[in-house]
Amino acid sequence: MLSFRSVTKVYPPQTVALNNIDLEVGKGEFVFLVGHSGAGKTTLLRMVYREEVPSSGTVFMNGWEVPKLSRRRIPFLRRHIGMVFQDFRLLPQRTVFDNVAFALRVTEEAHRDLRRRVMESLEIVGIADNASKFPEQLSAGEQQRVGIARAIVGHPLVLLGDEPTGNLDPDTAAGIMNTLIDVNRLGTTVLMATHSAQIVNAFRQRVVELESGRLIRDELGGTYAARSLEQTLR
C-alpha cells in the first residue's frame, strides 16, 4: 500500500531530515512510527500526502508514484488518505456532524447518503450521540474522535496519524488507540507517529524507529525502545 524507496530529504542548506529510507507497508497493516522529536516522523508522513516531495528516491501509495503527481491530481490522492492530528484541527463554528460532513462536501461528494455516511463514521468512533454539539462542548478525547470520524468518512485507503494521542491523558489516549485499531480492522492501513512508549508497548504493533532521519529499526510486535536497550536496562 505504501512504499518508500531510498527516500532522502534535505532542507537547504544542509539539514538532512530523512536519509535513504526504505519502507514497505502492506494493505491493512498498523505501523507505529517512533523516534525523538526531529527524527523525521512528520516529514515521512508529509511525503505520503505530498505536502513534501523527496530530494531523492520516491514514494508510492496504492501504486501511484506520489512525487510525480501533477498539482491538479494531489486533491484526488488526498481523498484516499485520512489524516488525524495532535491538535484535532476541528472547525469551532461547525457542529460535530458538519465537521465530519465538511470532508465530503468539499470534495463534491455531497451525495444523497451524506447523512448516512457521516453518522456511520460517528458510530465507528462512538460519538454519534454528540452529532449536534459543537467541538468546544466536547472533551479532548471526544474531539479527537471527531477528528478520526472526519478522517475515515471518505473511506480512505490509508490513515495517517501525527501524534494523535499527544494531547491526551493516558486513559483517553488508550480509548483513541482502540478506536484506531477498530478502524484498522475495518481494512484501513494505519501509519501513526507517536512519542508514547506506554501506547506502543501496550498495543504491540509493527514498530518503525527513526533516528536523525535514518531508519534504525523495523520490528513486528515491537516495543517503544529497542529490545536490547530495554534488556540492558533490566
Scanning 21-29, 35-43, 81-89, 178-186 for contacts with other proteins by CB under 8 A, the matching segment is 81-89
φ, ψ (nearest 5 deg) of residue 94: -115, 150
Kindly report each contact of residues 197-205 with a partner whose C-beta sits within 8 Å and lies 24 or more positions away, as own/partner: 197/223, 197/224, 197/225, 198/170, 198/173, 198/224, 199/32, 199/165, 199/173, 199/174, 200/32, 200/34, 200/224, 202/174, 202/177, 203/32, 203/177, 205/30, 205/31, 205/32
| Interface mask toward other proteins for 22-51; x: CB under 8 A | ---------------------------x--
φ, ψ (nearest 5 deg) of residue 30: -120, 120
Question: Closest CB to other proteins among 153 and 177?
Answer: 153
Name which of residues 113 to 172 contact other proteins (CB under 8 A).
Answer: 150, 154
CB of 108 to other proteins, least distance (A): 5
Q: Considering only CA atoms, which of 35, 32, 33, 67 is closest in space to residue 49?
A: 67
Scanning 54-62, 72-80, 169-177, 214-222 for contacts with other proteins by CB under 8 A, the matching segment is 72-80
Should residue 64 be labelled a site residue for other proteins when binding is judged by CB under 8 A?
no
Cell of 97: 456532524
Should residue 79 be labelled a site residue for other proteins when binding is judged by CB under 8 A?
yes
Question: Closest CB to other proteins among 119 and 152?
Answer: 152
Residues that bind other proteins (CB under 8 A): 49, 71-72, 75-79, 81, 83, 89, 91, 102-103, 105-108, 110, 150, 154
